[in-house]
Structure 1
Amino acid sequence: MDYDHMFHIAKKVVDSIEKGVKPLIGWERSDEVVKIGADGTPTKRIDVIAENIAINSIERHCSAVLISEEIGIKKVGDGPPEYLIVLDPIDGTYNALNNLPIYSVSIAIGEIPRRNRDIDAIKSMDIRDLELGMVKNIATGEIYYGRANKGAYILEKNEKEWKRIKVSDTKNLKDASVGVFAYGLTTNTLNFIKDRKVRRIRIFGSAALEMCYVARGALDAFINVNETTRLCDIAGGYVILRESGGVITDRDGRPLNMRLDVKERTSLICSNRTLHRKLVGIFGNKWALKPTKFGIISRIDREEALDLVVQIIDYLESKGVGYLLEEELYKTLKDKMDIDRYDCKVMEDIREISHMLSIGGDGTVLRASRLIGGNEVPIISIDMGTVGFLTEFSRDEVFKAIDMVIRGNYEIERRTKCSCVVKFREEERKDYRQKVLPDALNEVVLITKSPAKMIHFEVYINGEFVEEVRADGIIVSTPTGSTAYSLSAGGPILEPSMDAFVVVPICPFKLFSRPIVVDGNSEILIRILRKSVLAVIDGNVEETLKKGDEVVLRKSDAYAYFVKGRKFYSKLKKLGN
């Protein structure tokens, strides 16, 4: 395989287009629509000129099957085609016409197998067969280049040496800079921007360059969660980003296997491995792929729950699917049965599993959520409890639920969690220190340590004083927790998908102290005015607070994920039983 020849072809094409289109910048006729391209979108005069320049350059150097947005698929050059070339002669046409310095020429090349060198050969190929990519920022002159199994590189303007590039190692979304494809933004993407999940959002309007920015670590990710990304837009950037260590998939985490067709479309998420996992968790269903391993957690005080766990283990082993057991469950089963005949192991690292099976009631689900922490692991919740409002499947549906997950034929429901930070002063210090408590799936409750005694506190929303409250306590509930303690204390029921929190005083002294529903992006601050107070997270985690301490509550950066089973309003019937 002659990579040097491929490189020579790519370099000649990008340099020729750069030289040919620069005089067209600012020419009023460059912006005229002259036809509808093969991909079904309007073609500007500057696009046609750039494509013709590329065709002439390719014909001088090789015979190839060319895929381009304007002409579609065409054989160029004499003799049997040696190469497949995917071209976007100008990526970022609007920027070019308006002299915004972010527009490029993008080219990707793969070798056509010798046994079948004709235009039909590409029917057996896809984007993964592309072996060389090159993208040149026409406005600034820098060139990006990637070659299969040899890495990715940049040549800065006026430099002579190619420098190796790789994706960033940013791990937290809050620290990330993300490029977004702006056309036809979905509600999901708009909420992502509104919620300020990342440090910066950038919209450049040139997909190939934005992928190269991710490849060099200048951006931490680039996303387009619509099915609008075209083959020609990303082919060159795909090879470069792939060779820089980036992960490139559709929004559900599936590797791209785009056919070599000018009309092919896909969604797109590209980043480093850690951020990619988080972004797919937000925008798609990465778990549509076959599960790696199930984690199993169960209540251990009921024989029928333990018997069901054994049946599940038998079923998973018959399906050839791995599993790990929560430590207490493992110890209980070890004393109860001949565990050595099974491939049973303790779940030591939550990152080893892709899904969590929760066998029990709401308490078991909350334990599973705490165990998962901030990891993107969905819960398959099986009802073996007394209330089970958080559970999605009955005992009779457990094997059906497992099969749904194995086949990838299921939906994920994302639930908001509440982060909790306690700010306190130590006697020898004047400034506040802080302690981060675990996230709450249901609610954060502040109550007195002494029975039948009221606590006294102030409530602030986004820094604005709301009221001074004397009550037995106060609940800040997520939408998921609105059917739990909050409901018993007089709070409203919220659909789990709502972006909101409920603030509910418990038995308030003043009659007008009523529940408040606040926007999910709000910061809720509660200042303790008198007496010691106990902070309780999901009925389990406890922290003692004293006079002057503050509790700051806001939407967590992490979510809880559930494999969807029962419909929400059908579960409400349980509240009437």
Structure 2
Amino acid sequence: MDVAVGIVAQRENERAQTLAGSLVETLEREGSNVVVDEATGEALEATAVPVAAMAGRDLVVSIGGDGTLLFTAREVGSTPLLGINLGEVGFLNAVAPADAVDVVTALVTELEETGTVAGRELTRLRATGVGEDWTLEPALNEVVVHGPRRGNGGGATVDIRVDGQQYAESHADGVLVATPTGSTAYNLSEGGPLLHPTAETLVVTQMAATESMPPLVVEPDTELTLTVSDTDTAYVISDGRNRQRLEPPSTVSVSLAAESVRLVGPRGNFFDALDKLE
């Protein structure tokens, strides 16, 4: 089969663009159909498409840090995704730049021979307004509900219900729901627990609550609702990027998204990556 590959390089990163160029040259020489993102295409004079247009390709390669991979994952959905690590930690990007050409060509060969490639599914979250007509783009890391701003006088009262039963209600900066992938990100900075990447769980963590409860680990199919009150304005945010303004009192439902992210290639060492956290 002719393997269709998409390559996304971190913006304004010359090292990422150089590596993208090496991959394009190698893969095209071996007969693959390769496209790059538009910014990289300008730098390399290679065939370029919007990242969202790479959805449905046989393989998409993200070159950069975890932020680049998060962006790419939002755009390509469940398309097989490989991360090449140019960042500091690299929980999601398991491949070192020196190994990138060998790993990518091996995956392409596997696709040519078998039509598929081994990988693991990463849970995503969906935030939806209860009684309102909106749904945010799925979150790979976390969904956050918070008041108009952080700090004194800027929070809101958030009622947390788990399968219809109240877990906590308190004035707080906000509340976040994180996946195992996102447990090492915003959740960790707010005092939430680490979840092993293979755990089939979610975690609910309050942010600077006046009457706090411990973070709660729940099963992924749990019905979670967050009701915001005692403020004129609040927000729900997916992965720090997609935002919906709320007019409290408002209730947000957080559930599993229909599509997960399919990460392929070598797995990073979770515990080695933890050592790199500040």
Q: Structure 2 length as normaliser, TM-score?
A: 0.90
| 1:437-456 superposed matches below 5 A | 437-452=136-151, 453-456=154-157
3-state SS of 1:439 partner: coil
Give the CA deviation at 1:480: 0.7
Aligned to 1:570: 272
Distance in 1, matches of 2:94 and 2:271, equals 12
Shift of residue 567, structure 1, vs aligned partner: 2.9
Match of 1:476 in 2: 177
Q: Do 2:148 and 2:155's aligned partners in 1 also have CA atoms closer than 8 Å? A: no
SS of 1:392 mapped into structure 2: coil
Taking the aligned partners of 1:523 and 1:541, their CA distance within structure 2 comes to 22
Q: How many pairs are equivalent? A: 268
1:124-203 equivalences under 5 Å are none
Comparing both structures, which one devotes a greater share of its residues to helix? 1
Q: Are the counterparts in 2 of residues 412 and 562 from structure 1 also a CA contact under 8 Å?
A: yes
Q: TM-score, normalised by structure 1?
A: 0.44
Note the residue ranges of structure 1 that are not aligned, 5 or more in a row. Answer: 1-289, 424-431
Measured in 2, the distance between the counterparts of 1:436 and 1:315 equals 41
Query: Following the alignment from structure 1 to structure 2, what is the Cα–Cα distance between the partners of residues 318 and 413?
Result: 29
**1:318 counterpart (22, 26, 29):** 29
Deviation at 1:314, TM superposition (A): 1.1
Q: 1:482 to 1:474 in 2, by over 3 A?
A: same
Distance 2:149 2:239 in 1: 20
Equivalent in the alignment of 2:114: none
**2:30 is the counterpart of 1:327:** no
Residue 351 and residue 291 in structure 1: after superposition, are their counterparts in 2 closer, same or farther (change >3 A)? farther
**What is the percent sequence identity of the aligned residues?**
26
Contact 2:56 / 2:79 at 8 angstroms: preserved in 1?
Answer: no
Query: What is the rounded CA distance, in whole Å, between the counterparts of 1:462 and 1:350 in structure 2?
Result: 37
2:126 to 409, 419, 431: 419
Higher Rg of the two aligned structures: 1
* The one of 231, 236, 239 aligned to 1:538: 239
Per the TM alignment, residue 573 of structure 1 is displaced from its structure 2 partner at its CA by: 2.3
Using the alignment, how far apart are the partners of 1:449 and 1:324 within structure 2? 41
* Aligned residue in 2 for 1:293: 4
Q: C-alpha deviations, 1:480-522, integer Å up to 9, x for none? A: 1011110111111112222111000111112x42200011110
* 1:371 counterpart = 2:71: no
Paired residue for 2:108? 406
SS of the residue corresponding to residue 437 of structure 1 reads: coil
Distance 2:217 2:133 in 1: 26
Give the deviation of 1:476 after TM superposition.
0.4
Q: Partner of 1:517 in structure 2?
A: 217
Runs (4+) off by over 6 Å: none
1:194-239 C-alpha deviation (Å, 9 max, x unpaired): xxxxxxxxxxxxxxxxxxxxxxxxxxxxxxxxxxxxxxxxxxxxxx
Q: Secondary structure at the match of 1:308?
A: helix
Would the aligned equivalents of 1:358 and 1:379 in 2 still touch at CA under 8 Å? yes
Distance 1:526 1:318 in 2: 53
Q: What's the CA shift string for 1:96-155, capped at 9, x where partnerless?
A: xxxxxxxxxxxxxxxxxxxxxxxxxxxxxxxxxxxxxxxxxxxxxxxxxxxxxxxxxxxx
Cα distance between partner residues in 1 of 2:203 and 2:2: 35
Alpha-carbon distance in structure 1 between the residues aligned to 2:173 and 2:203: 17
Aligned letter for 1:444? V
| Corresponding residue SS for 1:408 | helix
Residues of 1 paired with 2:255 and 2:4: CA distance? 32
1:469–1:513 Cα contact (<8 Å) kept: no
The CA deviation at 1:368 is 0.6
Q: State the alpha-carbon separation in 1 of the partners of residues 132 and 252 from structure 2.
A: 12
The residue aligned with 2:83 is 381
Preserved CA contact (<8 Å) 1:489 1:506: yes
Answer yes or no: is the 8 Å Cα contact 1:422–1:437 preserved in 2: no
Q: Shift in Å at residue 388 of structure 1?
A: 2.6
The 3 A distance-change label for structure 1 pair 291 and 559 is farther
Task: Report deviation, 1:570.
Answer: 2.9
Task: Choose which of 492, 500, 507 in structure 1 pairs with 2:208.
Answer: 507
Residue identity in the other structure for 2:136: L
Secondary structure of the equivalent of 1:569?
helix
Counterpart contact for 2:88–2:276, Cα < 8 Å: no
CA distance in 2, matches of 1:504, 1:546: 22
Unaligned runs of 5+ in 2: 112-116
Partner of 1:191: none
Per-residue deviation, 1:352 = 4.7
Code of the residue aligned with 1:545 in structure 2: it is L
Distance 1:562 1:458 in 2: 34
2: CA distance, partners of 1:371 / 1:542: 16
For residue 437 of structure 1, report the CA deviation from its aligned partner. Answer: 0.9
Report the AA paired with residue 346 of structure 1.
V
Q: 2:229 aligns with which of 526, 529, 536?
A: 529
Matched residue, 2:64: 360
Offset, 1:411: 3.3
Summarize the alignment of residues 256-271 of structure 1 with structure 2, pairs less than 5 Å apart: none
SS in 2 for 1:547: coil
* Cα displacement string for residues 348-371 of structure 1 (whole angstroms, at most 9, x for unaligned residues): 633451111001111101111110
Establish whether residue 308 from structure 1 lines up as the match of residue 15 from structure 2: no
What are the Cα deviations for residues 425-472 of structure 1, in whole angstroms up to 9, with x where unaligned? Answer: xxxxxxx23211111000011222234222211011111121212111
Instruction: Give the Cα separation in 2 of the matches to 1:311 and 1:433.
Output: 48
Tell me which of the two structures has the higher relative contact order, counting C-alpha pairs closer than 8 angstroms and 6 or more residues apart.
2
Match of 1:489 in 2: 190
SS of match in other structure, 1:440: coil
Counterpart in the other structure of 1:393: 95
The residue number in structure 1 matching 2:135 is 436
